[in-house]
């Protein structure tokens, strides 16, 4: 039995249980949007300790956790009212706690205390924290609906942590999604986690949910979260929890600088891609002018297509991985022409495969429809080698699209644009 379990009623409730407040910053204002309520207690030596481990302890009974949490919530709402705050207030509540009010939602303690202290429910964000609650949906849907009717917003915590999150997301229908803190910390060392953050943020954006990144402790984590997109940010990097909301300030300058870096990086990358696309246009156009594709298409045969694009491959920089050709429906009409030490080599097994499912194929079609003859993708991971590559796509005719996969490698001589072609080494 843990220490927390042993002292639930005999010790912990006899101590002074208080609420601390941690700021949450918003990307649209670069200022504090809200505060999250966090449980604390004062120990015998006067030190203040977190209740986080207590609430996470599986041996602590539901009733014990609820009793302690109610003290924290009531304290926080009173403090919020006394300090006359106008920001939002995040309050953590487990689904299993609110399910018991399914038939009598008007008795929900949080809203009763809000009315008692004169707190506008529209300033409350109810954060659902129980990830393994399996009660029937009707047990809590009425309560969540009551919260929403009162004007509260709903947030779901630790999204992505549990396999049943999508089902819970659909049933809860939250306004805000808090990304699991482990993913944010692990994103510093793993591109898998970085891409997962971007995927979660993209999913949230597509279904109309705002994203909150919590637990940010380093500038690198902040930059990763910013680049992944999301409106809200929280963590020790900006501010630690404080006993008074008035004193719970945040280092907004760090946040604003990161926001500027993110925008600048997007603009720089867009500029690099545009100039890189122009450089690849010149290389391909030079080959086409000396080796007319139209004349080849009119007089060539299937047997000659490999030779034509092998010659193109050899003329291109050394970081070109492969060349191939598709029709407008995405079906490959050539072999893969792959760069090998011995030269350009046709590789069979790819003809008539469809690449229309790739997102960049659709973006290239859009570019062609708007009058562009070429398109350059952002860098991505090759599904086979996991190397960072990008793809140049060129409309040779209305029926033939050229694809060039290019390895993104460190560039010599201080060249900063990763999308520019490497100079030939021979």
pLDDT tens-digit profile of 230-286? 999 999 999 999 999 998 888 889 999 998 998 898 898 889 899 999 999 999 999
Q: What is the DSSP letter of 214?
A: -
Strand, coil or helix: what is 1? coil
- The rounded distance, in Å, linking the Cα atoms of 413 and 65 is 61
End-to-end CA distance of the chain: 72
- The rounded distance, in Å, linking the Cα atoms of 260 and 276 is 24
Q: What is the pLDDT of residues 214-226, one digit of tens each?
A: 999 999 999 999 9
**Domain 3-238+250-265 of CATH type 1.10.3210.10:** no
For the structural domain made of 272-414, what CATH number should be given? 3.30.450.20
Strand, coil or helix: what is 133? coil
Domain coordinates of the chain in residue numbers?
A: 3-238+250-265, 272-414
Which residue stretches of the chain have pLDDT < 70?
Answer: 1-10, 13, 130-137, 160-165, 295-303, 410-415, 423-426
Q: Which two tokens stand for residue 138?
A: 């009707």
DSSP string, 330-368: SBB-S-EEEEETTEEEEE-S-TT-B-TTSHHHHHHHHHH
| Longest CA–CA separation in the chain, Å | 92
CB 246 within 8 A of CB 83: yes
- Residue carrying the six token digits 């309050």: 91
**pLDDT for 143:** 87
- The rounded distance, in Å, linking the Cα atoms of 201 and 205 is 6
**pLDDT for 12:** 73
Regarding beta strands 320-326 and 400-407, do their DSSP bridges make them parallel or antiparallel, or are they unpaired?
A: antiparallel
Q: What is the DSSP letter of 230?
A: -
Cα-flanking dihedrals φ and ψ of residue 167, to 5°?
Answer: -65, -40
Regarding beta strands 16-26 and 31-42, do their DSSP bridges make them parallel or antiparallel, or are they unpaired?
A: antiparallel
DSSP string, 36-84: EEEEEEE-TTS-EEESHHHHH-TTS-HHHHHHHHHHHHHHHHHHHHHTT
Query: Which residue intervals of 177-327 are DSSP H helices?
Result: 181-186, 191-206, 219-228, 252-290, 293-299, 302-315
Report which of 92, 72, 56, 65 is spatially closest to residue 8, judged by C-alpha positions: 65
**pLDDT for 1:** 37
**pLDDT for 295:** 63
**pLDDT for 163:** 47
Strand, coil or helix: what is 388? strand
Cα-flanking dihedrals φ and ψ of residue 155, to 5°?
Answer: -120, 150
Report which of 187, 189, 132, 136 is spatially closest to residue 163, judged by C-alpha positions: 132
Backbone conformation region of residue 210, classed left if phi is above 0, alpha if psi is from -120 to 50, else beta: beta
Report which of 92, 90, 89, 101 is spatially closest to residue 69, judged by C-alpha positions: 92
| 385 half-sphere exposure, CB direction, 13 A CA radius | 10
**pLDDT for 162:** 59
| 311 half-sphere exposure, CB direction, 13 A CA radius | 12
């Amino acid at each position: 039995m843990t220490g927390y379990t042993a002292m639930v009623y005999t010790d912990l409730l006899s101590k002074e249980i208080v609420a601390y407040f941690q700021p949450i910053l918003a990307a649209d204002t670069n200022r504090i949007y809200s505060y999250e309520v966090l449980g604390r207690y004062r120990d015998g030596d006067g030190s203040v300790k977190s209740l986080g481990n207590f609430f996470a302890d599986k041996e602590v009974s539901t009733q014990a956790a609820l009793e302690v949490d109610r003290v924290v919530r009531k304290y926080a709402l009173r403090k919020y009212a006394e300090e006359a705050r106008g920001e939002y207030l995040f309050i953590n509540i487990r689904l299993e706690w609110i399910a018991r009010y399914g038939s009598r939602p008007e008795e929900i303690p949080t809203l009763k205390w809000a009315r008692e202290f004169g707190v506008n429910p529209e300033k409350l964000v109810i954060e659902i924290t129980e990830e393994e609650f399996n009660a029937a949906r009707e047990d809590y849907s009425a309560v969540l609906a009551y919260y929403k009717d009162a004007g509260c917003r709903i947030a779901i915590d630790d999204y992505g942590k549990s396999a049943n999150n999508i089902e819970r997301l659909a049933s809860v229908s939250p306004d805000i999604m808090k990304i699991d803190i482990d993913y944010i910390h692990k994103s510093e060392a793993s591109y898998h986690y970085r891409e997962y953050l971007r995927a979660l943020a993209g999913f949230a954006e597509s279904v109309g949910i705002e994203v909150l990144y919590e637990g940010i402790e380093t500038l690198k984590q902040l930059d990763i979260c910013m680049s992944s997109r999301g409106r809200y940010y929280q963590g020790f990097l900006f501010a630690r929890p404080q006993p008074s909301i008035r004193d719970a300030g945040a280092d907004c300058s760090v946040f604003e600088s990161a926001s500027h870096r993110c925008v600048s990086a997007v603009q720089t990358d867009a500029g690099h891609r545009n100039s890189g696309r122009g450089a690849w246009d010149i290389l391909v156009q030079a080959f086409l002018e000396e080796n007319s594709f139209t004349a080849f298409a009119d007089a060539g045969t299937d047997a000659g297509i490999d030779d034509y694009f092998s010659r193109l491959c050899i003329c291109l920089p050394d970081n070109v991985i492969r060349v191939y050709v598709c029709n407008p429906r995405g079906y490959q009409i050539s072999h893969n022409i792959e760069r090998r030490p011995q030269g350009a080599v046709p590789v069979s097994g790819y003809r008539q495969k469809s690449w229309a499912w790739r997102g960049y194929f659709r973006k290239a079609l859009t570019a062609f429809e708007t009058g562009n003859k070429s398109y350059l993708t952002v860098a991505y991971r090759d599904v086979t080698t996991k190397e960072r590559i990008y793809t140049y796509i060129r409309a040779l005719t209305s029926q033939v699209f050229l694809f060039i996969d290019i390895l993104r490698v460190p560039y010599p001589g201080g060249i900063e644009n990763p999308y520019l072609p490497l100079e030939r080494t021979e």
